[in-house]
Structure 1
Amino acid sequence: MKSRQSVFAYILLGVFLLGGLGYLVASFSDGNTPVTSSPPAVPNPVFNKEGEVTFVKKGQPFKKIEVEIAENEAERNKGLMFRSYLPDSVGMLFIFEQPDEYKFWMKNTSIPLDIIYVGPDKKIVSIAQNTQPYSEESILPYGLVQYVVEVNAGFTKQNNIQSGDAISF
């Protein structure tokens, strides 16, 4: 009886070892490199022109960009997240129903941005330049705003856009 139990135990051990060996072989693509599963890639959103923003200095228009418009909570929460590239001639316009001190952050945003805070009178209240990608730190305006324009970092400096200038859209 002992020898039958021993044979049975060896058979079970063999099956276990062969099963483990099969798993190891299946886990390596070329015998040396482990096969890993990665999360599905998030598709890079494509720019969708929904309007234009013109920057105005001393009553004179001087720079125009194409914009996507974030006019509801879901669009505002997503903003420019998950973009790997943003052309210099485009941005995003956030439109809020009421003026407030809306704070922004750079979570899931891989490109540095200039964030232009605009009051209800469409005058630029403040600008957060060259924001840090992926930062969860709150970026606050220096006053009440109803509109926000996000553009590539360096855009405001390159185009001499300053607090006190205005926008139209």
Structure 2
Amino acid sequence: MIRAAVLWLAMAGAAASADCRDDLVEFRWDGGQARFTVEVADDEGERAQGLMHREALAASAGMLFVYERTQEAAFWMENTLIPLDMIFIDETGRVTRVHENARPLDRTPIPSGGPIRYVLEINGGLAARIGIAPGAVMRHPAVDQALSAWPCG
């Protein structure tokens, strides 16, 4: 079950938690920060299911897809009932691409646009509203801390 938590802080210099948790992702970029409570999909079955058949997603929630290795990936919205933003993230935790407002029930592939290691799905249109764009960095314990652009600690 997705749990709602603190959504985002859209102010420069806002303090963020130094502790990383499996159920929380944090982002920062020039001028803002965001925080989402997440479910982690880190095996083939969980990634295949994703957010299909859900009728709603809390504004502060998302699903983090974690791959075993850096690779190109593609998503589609078959059996997904709500519009989603897909935030593609490299092995260092840096956002490389944001696909906004993926259409529910659409089978058109949505490519990562290059090698990625993580994808965060959140409510459609939210990334643009709060400022998440390529160059933002994500913090989560799944990111190899030796490579992380924003390590836990």
TM-score (norm 2): 0.76
Q: Report the structure number with the largest CA radius of gyration.
A: 1
Which residue does 1:28 correspond to in 2? Answer: none
Cα distance between partner residues in 1 of 2:3 and 2:35:
16
Cα distance between partner residues in 2 of 1:165 and 1:63:
10
Higher helix share: 1
| 1:47 to partner: Cα distance | 2.2
Q: Secondary structure at the match of 1:129?
A: strand
Which residue does 1:53 correspond to in 2? Answer: 25
Which aligned pairs between 1:16-95 and structure 2 lie closer than 5 A?
A: 46-47=1-2, 51-58=23-30, 62-95=33-66
Residue 131 in 1 paired to residue 75 in 2?
Answer: no
User: How many residue pairs get matched?
Assistant: 123
- Counterpart of 1:56 in structure 2: which amino acid? R
Which residue does 1:107 correspond to in 2? Answer: 78
Higher strand share: 2
TM-score (norm 1): 0.69
User: Which stretches of structure 1, 4 residues or longer, exceed 2 Å deviation after superposition?
Assistant: 46-50
Q: Flag the structure with more relative contact order, 1 or 2, with Cα contacts below 8 A and sequence separation at least 6.
A: 2
| 1:61 to partner: Cα distance | 6.7
The answer as to whether partners of 1:54 and 1:61 remain within 8 angstroms in 2 is no
| Structure 1 spans left out of the alignment, 5+ residues | 1-45
